[in-house]
């Protein structure tokens, strides 16, 4: 079975509190980006195997979230062995959620292949044990996310009259380091209220809390955002902790 795990962007990202477990509570809007995908194929096989192609990234194939998702369902549901072939096109560690998408699509594909009959809610529950962003890709529609990113609420956002341009600079931003340089604070107005404003007003009110410290460390990223606005973007931002950025333009 062949599927195409897609990227996401964050529209707004408020880091509102540090948790006792060492993580942070956030508020953000996850928006799927169907134009940028990996390619994932899962087939029945006598032995379990994970094969990776495309963009290179560190780690053994068995440490990939796709393989961990398979092992989880094998343990919980007793499914047979499969071969997983993953062609990476979504940059790793860019803020596009590629690894989380691959994980979620693996769970959904295994559910179909083995006829497990798991609901989206059940799949999202499994996904949450593998990564904070993973449950979003089970639903794969605009979602307000809170908690660590796993608490999701559907949000109606239609960007059909706009196009989204992505920038993927060859810069690595450590998420752990990025979080360490942010002082959590809860805004006076919720992200949902700010997103309800006309998109032309987002520039003044919808912020990504990672930008000040990440841009200070990597001025070229700030320059990319400035260039989006110079070329007429109605909104531009870092996605997640970066280093990827996006601009939203009128069609």
105 neighbors 5 (Cβ within 8 angstroms): yes
Looking at residue 172, its pLDDT comes to: 84
Residues 142, 175, single domain; the answer is: no
Residues 18, 78, single domain; the answer is: yes
Residues 143, 170, single domain; the answer is: no
pTM of the complete model: 0.93
151 neighbors 139 (Cβ within 8 angstroms): no
Show the domain range for 111: 2-154
Residues 127, 187, single domain; the answer is: no
pLDDT digits (tens, 9 = 90+) for 208-250: 999 999 999 999 999 999 999 999 999 999 999 889 999 999 9
CATH code of the domain covering residue 99: 3.30.230.10
Looking at residue 42, its pLDDT comes to: 98
Residues 170, 120, single domain; the answer is: no
Q: Which of 38, 102, 133, 209 is catalytic?
A: 133
For residues 157-178, give the mean pLDDT.
90
C-alpha–C-alpha distance, residues 251 and 241, integer Å: 27
Domain boundary among 125, 154, 183: 154
Domain boundary among 103, 130, 154: 154
42 strand-pairing partners: 84
Any catalytic annotation for residue 21? no
pLDDT at 59 over 90: no
Residues 150, 169, single domain; the answer is: no
Residues 29, 119, single domain; the answer is: yes
Residues 116, 237, single domain; the answer is: no
Q: What share of the chain is helix, strand, coil (3-state, %, to 5)?
A: 35, 30, 35
Residues 61, 130, single domain; the answer is: yes
% of the chain with per-residue pLDDT over 90:
83
Residues 125, 74, single domain; the answer is: yes
Residues 81, 167, single domain; the answer is: no
For residues 49-76, give the mean pLDDT.
92
- Asked which of 18-22, 45-49, 144-148 is least confident by mean pLDDT, the reply is 18-22
Residues 90, 139, single domain; the answer is: yes
Looking at residue 8, its pLDDT comes to: 97
For 59, the 3-state DSSP assignment is coil
Q: Which of 40-44, 145-149, 185-189 has the highest mean pLDDT?
A: 40-44
Domain boundary among 131, 154, 177: 154
Q: Where are the alpha helices (DSSP H) in 39-147?
A: 65-77, 98-113, 120-128, 134-139
Count of structural domains, the chain: 2
CATH code of the domain covering residue 184: 3.30.70.890
Any catalytic annotation for residue 226? no
Helix (H) or strand (E) holding 54: strand 49-54
145 neighbors 63 (Cβ within 8 angstroms): no
């Amino acid at each position: 079975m062949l599927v195409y795990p897609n990227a996401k962007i964050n529209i707004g990202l408020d880091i509102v509190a540090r948790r006792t477990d060492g993580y942070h509570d956030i508020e953000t809007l996850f928006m799927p980006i169907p134009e940028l995908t990996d390619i994932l194929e899962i087939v029945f096989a006598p032995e379990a195997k994970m094969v990776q192609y495309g963009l290179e990234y560190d780690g053994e194939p068995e440490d990939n979230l796709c393989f961990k998702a398979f092992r989880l369902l094998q343990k919980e549901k007793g499914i047979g062995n499969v071969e997983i072939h993953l062609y990476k096109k979504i940059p790793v560690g860019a803020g596009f959620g590629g690894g989380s998408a691959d994980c979620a699509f693996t769970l959904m594909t295994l559910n179909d292949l083995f006829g497990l009959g798991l609901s989206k809610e059940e799949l999202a529950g499994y996904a949450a044990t593998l990564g904070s962003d993973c449950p979003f890709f089970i639903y794969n529609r605009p979602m307000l996310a809170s908690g660590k990113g796993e608490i999701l609420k559907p949000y109606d956002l239609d960007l059909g009259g706009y196009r989204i341009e992505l920038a993927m600079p060859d810069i690595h931003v450590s998420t752990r380091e990025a979080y360490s340089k942010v002082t959590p604070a809860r805004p006076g107005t919720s992200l949902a209220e700010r997103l309800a404003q006309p998109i032309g007003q987002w520039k003044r009110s919808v912020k990504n809390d990672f930008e000040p410290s990440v841009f200070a460390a990597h001025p070229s990223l700030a320059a990319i955002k400035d260039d989006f606005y110079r070329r007429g973007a109605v909104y531009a931002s870092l996605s997640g902790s970066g280093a990827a950025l996006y601009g939203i333009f009128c069609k």
